[in-house]
């Protein structure tokens, strides 16, 4: 997204246009009136990454316009980033410029922030890092009160820790999350909270047990667990499932099991097509759970055909989508057996064409 697209004064009109496009995609499936959750017009992004441009003694953050990979655009101000990242950008650069050890062959700078003011800065290089770099980076970390990681080819130097600690308030309850560097997290924290609360409202009157696919670090899983007797959450990415298990422990949740399985593997297990040793960690057999509700937050490709069929066997479906087009594709099948009781749009990415959606489906009588 070019910074020229950032126009806070026109945000409401841009959101309305985007919502109309998405609504047109979902209208054929007879949803109720859409609930629309806007973002802040500025300072909403908790992640940012910039290339670094060297020109003699000059050192600047740069980005590249689409289709112009050789023309750097110097970034002096990044209004969509959190206030903490905006402040750190100039502070970090002021310490990098006069420091040969920290600036030599520096290629990229990445920021990961939280609403809890725990922030991580990753410095990426085209050279091997040594103890001299570690000493200088430790001083930068202390001066700015941030976590610092150094990366180069086949090398990762962690000064203290490679994660940040986030705390989200969901309907008045506090949930703690460990978010690892370079692992997926929702970039717009305020809208993420709205998404979680909406999903919890959908779950409010449901009974039985919950199955969640693509659980990530437990972003939705932890708050949803309070609405069900038992929860089984699955995720394939190793770093994400590691974080999810740590977050489960940190929040003292006892009715939730985290299993490292892909959506395709879960489908095979439920159908009895394969036996997975990883499921042996469950207190009882998967088929012995009262799984009436399924929660899915798939990647942009949406649900594959076999997972889509399996999801369609559940009484209730809570579906969070980062791609309205593939959501519409999945709804073509799911709408035969289910009705949409709630439909929501969440503007995670203002000034872009992207829109997060939520649909709550119940099986037809």
Is 176 domain-assigned? no
Say whether both 229 and 251 belong to one domain.
yes
Is 139 domain-assigned? yes
Q: Where are the beta strands (DSSP E) in 181-290?
A: 209-213, 231-235, 256-260
Say whether both 36 and 81 belong to one domain.
no
Is 171 domain-assigned? no
- What confidence tens digit (pLDDT) does each residue in 236-258 have? 999 999 999 999 999 999 999 99
Going by pLDDT thresholds of 50, 70 and 90, the confidence category of residue 1 is: low
Of 257, 322, 325, 332, the catalytic one is: 322
Is 359 domain-assigned? yes
Rounded CA separation 107/127 (Å): 10
Residue 325 a catalytic site member: no
DSSP SS3 for 158: strand
- What confidence tens digit (pLDDT) does each residue in 149-168 have? 999 999 999 999 999 999 99
Q: CATH number for the domain including 318?
A: 3.40.50.150
pLDDT of 2 > 90? The answer is no
Say whether both 201 and 278 belong to one domain.
yes
Residue 200 a catalytic site member: no
pLDDT of residue 274: 87
- What confidence tens digit (pLDDT) does each residue in 184-228 have? 999 999 999 999 999 999 999 899 999 999 999 999 999 999 999
Is 60 domain-assigned? yes
Instruction: Supply the range of the domain harboring residue 78.
Output: 47-164
Backbone torsions φ then ψ of 261, nearest 5 degrees: -145, 150
Say whether both 293 and 251 belong to one domain.
yes
- What confidence tens digit (pLDDT) does each residue in 278-322 have? 898 889 888 899 999 999 999 999 999 999 999 999 999 999 999
Say whether both 201 and 318 belong to one domain.
yes
- What confidence tens digit (pLDDT) does each residue in 122-146 have? 999 999 999 999 999 999 999 999 9
- The predicted model gives 81-86 an average pLDDT of 98
Rounded CA separation 339/363 (Å): 6
Say whether both 152 and 202 belong to one domain.
no
Say whether both 338 and 238 belong to one domain.
yes
- What confidence tens digit (pLDDT) does each residue in 26-51 have? 999 999 999 999 999 999 999 999 99
Is 23 domain-assigned? yes
Query: How many domains does one find in the chain?
Result: 2
Q: What pTM did the predictor assign?
A: 0.95
CA angle 169, 170, 176 (to 5 degrees): 55
Of 181, 212, 235, 356, the catalytic one is: 356
């Amino acid at each position: 997204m070019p910074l020229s697209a950032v126009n806070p004064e026109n945000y409401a009109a841009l959101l309305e246009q985007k919502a109309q496009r998405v609504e047109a995609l979902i209208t054929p499936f007879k949803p109720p009136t859409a609930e629309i959750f806007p973002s802040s017009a500025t300072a909403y992004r908790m992640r940012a990454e910039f290339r670094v441009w060297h020109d003699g003694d000059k050192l600047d953050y740069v980005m590249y316009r689409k289709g112009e990979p050789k023309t750097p655009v110097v970034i002096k101000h990044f209004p969509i980033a959190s206030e903490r990242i905006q402040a750190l950008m100039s502070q970090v650069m002021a310490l990098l410029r006069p420091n040969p050890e920290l600036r030599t062959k520096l290629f990229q700078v990445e920021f990961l922030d939280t609403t809890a003011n725990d922030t991580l800065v990753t410095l990426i290089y085209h050279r091997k890092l040594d103890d001299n770099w570690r000493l200088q980076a430790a001083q930068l970390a202390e001066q700015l009160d941030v976590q610092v990681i150094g990366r180069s080819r086949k090398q990762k130097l962690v000064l203290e820790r490679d994660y940040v600690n986030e705390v989200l308030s969901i309907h008045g309850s506090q949930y703690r999350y460990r978010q690892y560097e370079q692992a997926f997290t929702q970039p717009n924290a305020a809208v993420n909270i709205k998404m979680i609360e909406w999903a919890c409202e959908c779950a409010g009157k449901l009974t039985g047990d919950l199955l969640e696919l693509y659980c990530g670090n437990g972003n939705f899983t932890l708050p949803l667990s309070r609405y069900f007797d038992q929860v089984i959450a699955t995720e394939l990415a190793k770093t994400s499932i590691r974080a999810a298990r740590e977050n489960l422990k940190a929040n003292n949740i006892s009715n939730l099991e985290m299993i490292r399985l892909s959506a395709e593997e879960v489908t095979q297990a439920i159908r009895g097509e394969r036996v997975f040793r990883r499921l042996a960690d469950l207190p009882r057999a998967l088929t012995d759970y009262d799984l009436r509700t399924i929660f899915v937050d798939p990647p942009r490709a949406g649900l594959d055909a076999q997972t889509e069929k399996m999801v369609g066997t559940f009484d209730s479906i809570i579906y969070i989508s980062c791609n309205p087009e593939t959501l519409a594709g999945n709804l073509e099948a799911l709408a035969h057996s289910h009705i949409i009781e709630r439909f929501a749009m969440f503007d995670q990415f203002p000034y872009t064409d992207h829109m997060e959606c939520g649909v709550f489906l119940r099986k037809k009588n």
